[in-house]
Amino acid sequence: MDVLAIDWHYEASCIQMKNDWILLTMRRYNAVAFYLDIADMLAKEGL
């Protein structure tokens, strides 16, 4: 009879890695948008 052995530690670390990778690639910091926001802030300051 075949026995399917599941290494839960391995499975858990794979899921963790996948979650970290998703977090890493999902981060959407937009430097250009931030610079434009600063330009907007300066305009409001009258500069």
Partner 1 sequence: MGGLDARYMISRLKPPNVDVKSLTTIATPHRGSAFADYMFTRIGPVYVPKLYKTLEYYGLDTGAFAQLTRQYMNEVFNPATPDLDGVKYFSYGANLAPTKWSIFLYSHAVIKELEGVENDGLVSVSSAKWGVYKGTLTGVSHLDLINWTNRVKWMFWQLTGTTKQVASR
Which residues are at the interface with partner 1 (CB under 8 A)? 20-21, 23-24, 27, 29, 31-32, 34, 38, 41-42, 45, 47
Q: Between residues 2 and 45, which has the closer beta carbon with respect to partner 1?
A: 45
Phi then psi for 34, rounded to 5 degrees?
-65, -45
Cβ closest to partner 1, residue 6 vs residue 9 = 9
The nearest distance, CB 41 to partner 1, in angstroms, is 6
